[in-house]
Structures are given as structure tokens and as C-alpha cells.
Structure 1
Amino acid sequence: MVALPVKPQFSLGPLILAIVCIAFFFAGQSMTDLLAYDRYALQSMETWRLISGNLIHTNGYHLLLNLVGLALLWALHGEHYRPVTFLKLFIWCGLGTSLGIYFLSPQLIWYVGLSGALHGIFVWGAFMDILNKVRSGWLLLAGVAAKLVFEQLQGSSEDVASLIDASVAVDAHLYGAVCGVLLFVLMWGSSLAAGFIASRRKA
């Protein structure tokens, strides 16, 4: 039986993110209008939307799907999620997703949801598994790569789009995943560099 990472140092980050998303959802439509990613509002310097748009959802089904995804990531990779690390990952993956949409998908005017950032965190977690010699990390990485390729070639699921009352922004999933790769490389590279510097000082 696999033990879930229920200790506070593993679960606090995802829990904070879930609570914020739920609170914004119940704050109502006015909060959605204020915080959603909106290309025209961003052009008017409402730059907070680059982050806050990732915390907003179209309806209860959309919120529930993303919270289930968040819970799955926690169950898979929670042992890597120190609170500050996890929240930094979310912020950078969310920001990278929004910037990717803004500069590379100009046809996408409005976007909300965790899914882009969650793809980034998923990829980062898979790489962390690989780094820690957990072989399933390779399977997870191959699975998400196949999903991204399929989405780019075939588009989004009409059933999911109908459920969440919005089109599925498959480009956001791709940009989020790329951010996850970049963040892992930067963090791993920084760790290697710090280790090298420390060893040189001891020598």
C-alpha cells in the first residue's frame, strides 16, 4: 500500500492553493471579471491577471476537475512539495503559461484555470522522480508528452469543453509543461553549481 504524503510540509502548499481557488470561486462573477486572464485588460496594464487568471474557474465542474488534478499531483509527488517550493513552482508555471498565451497564442483572448500550471508542476515532479531514481518518473514524463502531442494534433475534448462551459486551452497545457522543464533545469543546474563551488572552497 502506497503511503500518501500527508505531513504538513508536503501538503500545505497544495492545500493553500486549493483554498485560494475555492475562495475566489465563491466570491462570484465580479471576482472572475477582475482576475481572469484577459488580453485587452493586460494591454491596459492590468498585469496581475498574468497570475490571478490561473486561480479562476468558469464553473463548479471546472474547479472540481482542477482540484482533482491538484490532489493527484500531491499524491504522486507530494514528497517533493515543500510549501515555499510548491508555491514558487505554481507562480512561475502560472506566469509562464500566461506569458506563453500572450506572446504565442494571440488568438486566445480569455483564459482561466489551473490546468496550465498543473501541467508544469506535473512535469517538474516527474523529473524530480527521475532525479531520485524513481523509474515511474519516466513513464509519467512519457505519458504527459504523449498527451501534449495528441492535444496539439487533435485539439481539445468537446465533452470536457461542454462540461466546463469553455474551450480547453491546449496551448496553455503546452506552455505550462515547458515551464516545468525549464524550472527543473534551472533548479538542478543551480544545485550542481552550488555543490561545485562548495567543493572547490573545501579544496
Structure 2
Amino acid sequence: MIVALPLKPQFSLGPLILLATVFLLFLSGSATTELLAYDRYALESLETWRLLSGNLVHTNGYHLLLNSAGLFFLWALHGEHYRPMLFIKLFLWCGLGTSLGIYYLSPSLIWYVGLSGALHGLFVWGACMDIRNKIYSGVLLLLGIVAKVGWEQWQGSSDEVADLIGASVAIDAHLYGTVSGLALFILMWAMSALYVAIKPKQAA
């Protein structure tokens, strides 16, 4: 069976913009990474941009390629749900939720970079959108990501991946990204339902 990829511009432009951004930042060098990384001490000095920018930089080329592969996988699975601005907004909100979760709930995590937390959120949002659109494989995807995150919280991170990317795997970021993606879907669904409920009354 041939799987049709969501190649139309309205489905792929958002992920391509994100991919181009993270590659350009990586090519800018380690000084850019240090300036943009999530850093608790820098945040306490009011370098608040790091809450978002930390999600866009990487420790090394392996880290970048792993996250790029994850982004490709998400696009292949859920690209039909993406529109350019919607995708960018979702990524930014999931990234912000990840960083705020780290800041308030994981004070021992001082430094963090990478797409992975936000990608977990996008994965959950996409799985929920599948379910909403009666694509019931979304249930399996949602259960799979919950099982993955739960396993990480119980067993800890992979030493092999940590060696590859040159840093500890921030499993708490995966948890907070997952929760952020679910919260975004629930909020968007609730707002849509409210709009549908109010609109006929306004027309009347």
C-alpha cells in the first residue's frame, strides 16, 4: 500500500519553515546556541526569550538530525491537519508550555535545548485531531505516546541517545510538551464548540 504524503504547500510550508529555522540557527554556531538555549539562571536575569528560543537550538548535528526526523514523521502522519500559521502557533505554544513546565516543575533542570518537547505536544494534538475526524488510528497513536512518556518517567532516559546527542535526554520536557499539546487541543475544541453554540443565537 502506498501512503500519500501531504505534499501540498498548505500542509508542508509550516514544517519547512521550522526545519529551515533550526538548520540556520545550528549553522550559526555554538555562540547562537548559548544565547538562545533555555537556561534557568539566564531566565532569572530576565532573558525571557529563552522560553521560546531554547526549543529551536540543538547540542550537535546528531541531535538536530534526530529531531528533524521526528518532525518529518509528524508531518507524514498529521500534515493534513496543518496550515502554515496554525502549525507555527501550535509549535510556539507547545514550546512555551514545555519551557514553563521545566521552569516551575523541574527546577533541577538548568539547561535545555531541542524540538523534542514541542514535537511531543504536536504529536498529541495531531492524534487528537485524528480522533476528532474519526480516524481511529489516532487512538493508538495517543496511547502510544502516553505509554512512551510514562515509560520514560518510570525508567529514565536512554543512555545511548544521551551519548549520541552529547547531553542528558530531558524526559520532563517530553512530559510537559505532551500535556501542552493535549491542553491546546482541548482548549481549541472547547472554543470551537462554544462558537458553534453561540453563532445560531447571534443569527437569530
TM-score of the two chains, using structure 1 as the length reference: 0.99
Return the alpha-carbon distance in structure 2 between the equivalents of residues 45 and 202 of structure 1: 47
Measure, in 1, the Cα distance between the counterparts of 2:118 and 2:155. 21
Aligned mates of 1:62, 1:2 — CA distance in 2? 27
Please give the alpha-carbon distance, in whole angstroms, between the structure 2 residues aligned to 1:69 and 1:157: 16
Q: 1:168 is aligned with what amino acid?
A: V
Q: 1:4-55 CA deviation, whole Å, 9 max, x = no partner?
A: 0000000000000000000000000110110000000000000000000000
Q: Which residue of 1 aligns with 2:170?
A: 169
Q: For residues 143-154 of structure 1, what are the structure 2 equivalents within 5 Å? A: 143-154=144-155
Structure 2's unaligned 5+ residue stretches are: none
Give 1:135-150 correspondences, 5 Å limit: 135-150=136-151
Q: CA deviation at 1:201?
A: 2.4
One-letter amino acid matched to 1:74? W
Q: Does 1:83 align with 2:88?
A: no
Q: TM-score normalised to the size of structure 2? A: 0.98
**1:89 Cα deviation after fit:** 0.3
Whole-angstrom distance in 2 between the partners of 1:132 and 1:80: 10
Sequence identity of aligned pairs in percent?
68
Q: Structure 2: how far apart are the matches of 1:49 and 1:119?
A: 19
Deviation of 1:200 after TM superposition, in Å, equals 1.9
Amino acid aligned to 2:60: N
Counterparts of 1:34 and 1:165 in 2: how far apart (Å)? 18
Alpha-carbon distance in 1 for matches of 2:59, 2:136: 37
Distance 1:107 1:138 in 2: 34
Q: RMSD of the alignment, in Å? A: 0.6
For residues 163-197 of structure 1, the C-alpha deviation after alignment (integer angstroms, 9 at most, x for no partner) is 00000000000000000010001101111111111
Partner of 2:73: 72
Paired letter, 2:193:
L
1 CA distance for matches of 2:30 and 2:181? Answer: 30
Could you list the runs of 5+ residues in structure 1 that have no partner in the other structure?
none
Amino acid at match of 1:126: A
1:103 matched residue in structure 2: 104
AA of the residue aligned to 1:179: S
Q: Which residue matches 1:43?
A: 44
